[in-house]
Amino acid sequence: MTAGVAGDPRSFAPPAEVIATGVCTHHPGPSTRLLDGTRITDHWFELPLDHARPEGARIRVYAREYVSGADHDLPWLLFLQGGPGGKGVRQAQLAGWMKEASQRFRILMLDQRGTGLSTAANRNTLPLIGTPKDQADYLVHFRAPSIVQDAELVRLSLEAEPWTVFGQSFGGFCTLSYLSWHPEGMSRALITGGLAPLDGPADRVYRATYQRMRARNEEYFGRFPEDRQVLGRVYDAVRAGETGAAPSAVLPDGSPVTVGRVQMLGMFLGGNTRMDQLHYLLQEAFEQEPSRASTVIGASAGTLTDTFLHGLYQQVSRATNPLYLVMHESIYAQPAQTALPQPAPVTAAAPLARSEADATKTAWAAQRILRSSPDLADFDPARTAHPLLTGEMVFDWYAALDPALTPLQAVTEELARRTDWGPLYDPEALAANTVPTAAAVYTHDVYVDRALSLETASRVCGLRVWETDEFHHDGIGEDGPGILRRLLSLTDGSP
């Protein structure tokens, strides 16, 4: 493969050379303390937009430093958040994995480019770039290789020694990219629920995760059997509104409730305790009629409560993280040279079917797989009245319905059709990896498939896997200290 397309990390300027030119700037802010005494410091960096052309346009990248106690000489730990489009965690006081980590590290919480206090990429800013094609060309620089080049420039700007990198979910994808392109900047790598496939089309991800979601649906309805009927009633109420047989339901932002958007409540199934939160929400799905003559009447026929609609809105709105939708399938997009042969479509009439020539086009992979697979009819609202809940799947109607995404609909489509992608990873570098690396693989993870994770683990030299069925995708939110201790123990011997 040869470098050449925008965003290709093989064409990026070496970070040390970029720092030497003086084009990167670092502006630390004042330090303050949280209620528990933790010292926090804001850090602002001006970094190249296009790392292949460091003399060109620059963007702002923000990070927040957390130091517990008076020891400011601890080694650094960089945390890479899940996403795409997720900003760094904002803590009012240290708890969970951060409290555990703060005993050994200074923590740097990065707002990945385009998120949080870093230069924004949203409905207000992206249209200023130009046409949808111009915007897509701009966003090519917001993938994992550019994020980790930012991180390495940040490390050098801080004059820090090689640091521990801890990546959760998409942050784990970024950590693999860091190991690929800048292992010299890492003393160890820790990954939770984030071992991405190193090659192949996005299709293989969704073929696996639909099956995971089916099993998780059955587990949920096995635990709360009454919720299957309640969810069916929700679907019926929504369809009645769509046909005019009943008033249409709308979310707090005025956007319509659709069956597909209700299916997105499956995002609750990505965690152990979040399953209970879904149950609580469905318990309050329908309005109760007022009591009459001292008799309490049951639920009304089909009026969805404001509580339910607000809970649904919190799951489907991308107002706070628009890049989650815009960039989502691009986190799997690879050059044709690294793509594995694509499985033959299940039916000859598969929508948006691709040729080998455009094998890197994601082209709404989750949607294509759903519509072209007979065995996925139970997820498809067009083929079943009461479909199963979905997970981290994105669809082409997503941007059309969300007011925060509507101005980004055209650029999202541009990215879905794009074929000229640079590589996300360097398999040869990973095969020769010498950085102590450990990963937690969650057996029943519905977002990052176990089999694909173990396939990747087998291709990273020295990577030590801890597999567990005790947690789901958000394990560090349930027992962050224990998971962090386990991964650190697997990488003992590094600084």
Q: Catalytic site residues? A: 169, 420, 473
Greatest extent of the chain over all pairs of C-alpha atoms, in Å:
82
Asked whether the bond before 84 is cis by omega within 30 degrees of 0, the reply is: yes
Question: What are the structure tokens assigned to 274, written together?
Answer: 């979040």
Q: How far is CA 135 from the centre of its chain?
A: 21
Residue 39, phi then psi, degrees to nearest 5: -85, 130
Helices 203-223 & 226-243 angle (0-180, nearest 10): 120
d(CA 410, CA 407): 7
Question: What are the structure tokens assigned to 380, written together?
Answer: 């498809």
- Helical segments of 39-104, H only: 96-101
Nearest-CA neighbor of 385 among 256, 258, 236, 262? 236
Question: What are the structure tokens assigned to 247, written together?
Answer: 């008033």
d(CA 102, CA 133): 44
Coil, helix or strand for 179?
A: helix
Q: How far is CA 296 from the centre of its chain?
A: 45
Nearest-CA neighbor of 48 among 188, 146, 170, 127? 146
